[in-house]
């Protein structure tokens, strides 16, 4: 057993991040307070520019949350009430809720059980005359097969919105979220690979007209103060959050690299296990490992392993215990148990193990040893 076995191992470590960045975060906050520019302004503009450049996108539009990024992204792509938008049943509920917020209909297609990502072949089967958009989710920090989705969308004349809330800095075949889709959305919620001290979101796009629409939609459709060209909302990224994110962005790649190194250690520990089975990696994927996820297939259930780990001060998590289509709020969409067997099996079996840039190799060893032992009991 590794050293210091009673130290809690948690999904994120805000204190360690703060210690690493030293006074830079405080300086950024004080500078922004002194500037008096609290909503949009230079800090937000700098983040929009740098975050877009980091991902190889032409435009970045800062908004209030990752949910708003999806909702406004769909509106900017022209999705209307009554349209069908195809997405995954195995995601955070916001991916589907954003579609329903517009009065469009979330149409679900099952995931690839190996990766837990939306499967282009299964999506194609769900397309109909009312479909206007496909919404792939880059779950856990691994990008979906965007080349296949781009080909499909072009063939059928559909829009493509990528949900990259968990995929900051991730790539597939060298391309990042928001560059193959018509737009890509991000969340800066506290726990994300690039997290604010609160809420925040961003949409990336290569298209000038989509960027223009988003800038208006986030600010009550207003190109100039008190001129309103379309119905929008108030969803403007706050300068204090952008100031913190500007300090953190230069560290994102190094932090993601560290996550990948820790993931490789978990992989080595679980190699050959029939009871603790990591999700598969797609070829050409540069995974951001927002989560390191295994399936528990041993004598003990996932929930039993989760509880026993917590008793040993190891705090894993389950993203997500109930698939979208079995949520009460999804009842109007007409789905039921058994409709998406891969998503339902994943919801029963997945366990997300602690993975953040401030974990040590021996922390990972301790988690892996305990998961293997508990799953086999
Ligand atoms: C896949 C996915 N989509 C959308 C969101 C929504 O982002 P936010 O919480 O910033 O609204 C999240 C947040 O957890 C997410 O994980």
User: What value does the mean pLDDT take over residues 221-233?
Assistant: 94
Distance of CA 25 to the CA centre of its chain: 24
88 in contact with ligand 1, CB cutoff 6 A: no
Residue in the block written with tokens 């990696």: 281
pTM over 0.85: yes
The residue whose C-alpha atom lies closest to atom 7 belonging to ligand 1 is 66
SS3 assignment, position 285 = strand
Contact 180, 150 (CB under 8 A): yes
Computed over every residue of the chain, the mean pLDDT equals 97
Q: State the distance from the centre of ligand 1 to the C-alpha of 319, rounded, in angstroms.
A: 12
DSSP string for 361-373: HHHHHHHHHHHHH
163 in contact with ligand 1, CB cutoff 6 A: yes
Q: Which atom of ligand 1 is nearest to the CA of 67?
A: 11
- Same-fold call for 17-250 versus 251-376: no
Task: Name the token pair of 374.
Answer: 């508990």
pLDDT-based confidence at residue 1 (cuts at 50, 70, 90)? very low
Contact 62, 237 (CB under 8 A): yes
Q: Quick check: 2 pLDDT over 60?
A: no
Task: Name the token pair of 170.
Answer: 């991730």
Chain segment 294-326, per-residue pLDDT in tens: 999 988 999 999 999 999 999 999 999 999 999
Tell me the fold of 17-250. 3.40.640
Q: State the distance from the centre of ligand 1 to the C-alpha of 184, rounded, in angstroms.
A: 13
Neighbours of 95 (CB within 10 A): 27
Q: Quick check: 179 pLDDT over 90?
A: yes
Instruction: Output DSSP code: residue 280.
Output: P
195 in contact with ligand 1, CB cutoff 6 A: no
Quote the pLDDT of residue 49.
98
Q: State the distance from the centre of ligand 1 to the C-alpha of 65, rounded, in angstroms.
A: 8
Domain extent listing, the chain: 17-250, 251-376
Statement: 251-376 belongs to CATH 3.30.450.20: no
Q: State the distance from the centre of ligand 1 to the C-alpha of 298, rounded, in angstroms.
A: 31
pLDDT-based confidence at residue 4 (cuts at 50, 70, 90)? low
């Amino acid at each position: 057993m590794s050293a210091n076995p009673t130290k809690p191992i948690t999904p994120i470590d805000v204190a360690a991040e703060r210690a690493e960045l030293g006074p830079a975060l405080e300086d950024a906050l004080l500078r922004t307070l002194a500037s008096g520019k609290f909503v949009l302004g230079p800090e937000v503009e700098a983040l929009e520019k740098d975050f877009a450049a980091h991902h190889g996108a032409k435009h970045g539009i800062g908004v209030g949350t990752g949910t708003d990024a999806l909702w406004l992204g769909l509106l900017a792509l022209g999705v209307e009430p009554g349209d069908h938008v195809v997405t995954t049943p195995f995601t955070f509920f916001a991916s589907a809720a954003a579609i329903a917020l517009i009065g469009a209909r979330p149409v679900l297609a099952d995931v690839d059980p190996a990766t837990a990502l939306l499967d282009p072949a299964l999506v194609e089967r769900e397309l109909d005359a009312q479909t206007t958009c496909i919404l792939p989710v880059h779950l856990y920090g691994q990008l979906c097969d965007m080349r296949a989705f781009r080909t499909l969308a072009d063939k059928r004349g559909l829009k493509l919105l990528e949900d990259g809330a968990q995929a900051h800095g991730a790539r597939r075949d060298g391309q990042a979220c928001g560059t193959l889709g018509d737009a890509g959305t991000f969340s800066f919620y506290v726990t994300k690979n690039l997290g604010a001290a609160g809420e925040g979101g961003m949409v990336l796009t290569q298209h000038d007209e989509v960027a223009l629409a988003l800038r208006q939609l986030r600010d009550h459709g207003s190109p100039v103060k008190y001129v309103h060209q379309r119905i929008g909302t108030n969803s403007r990224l706050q300068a204090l959050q952008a100031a913190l994110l500007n300090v953190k962005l230069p560290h994102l790649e190094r932090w993601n690299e560290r996550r990948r190194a820790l993931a490789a250690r978990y992989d080595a520990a679980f190699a050959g296990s029939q009871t603790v089975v990591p999700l598969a990696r797609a070829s050409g994927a540069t995974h951001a490992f927002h989560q390191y996820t295994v399936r528990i297939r041993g004598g003990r259930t996932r929930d039993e392993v989760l509880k026993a780990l917590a008793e040993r001060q190891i705090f894993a998590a389950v993203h997500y215990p109930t698939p979208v289509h079995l949520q009460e709020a999804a009842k109007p969409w007409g789905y039921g148990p058994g409709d998406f067997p891969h998503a339902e099996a994943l919801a029963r079996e997945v366990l997300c193990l602690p993975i953040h840039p401030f974990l040590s190799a021996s922390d990972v060893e301790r988690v892996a040893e305990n998961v293997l032992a508990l799953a086999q009991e």
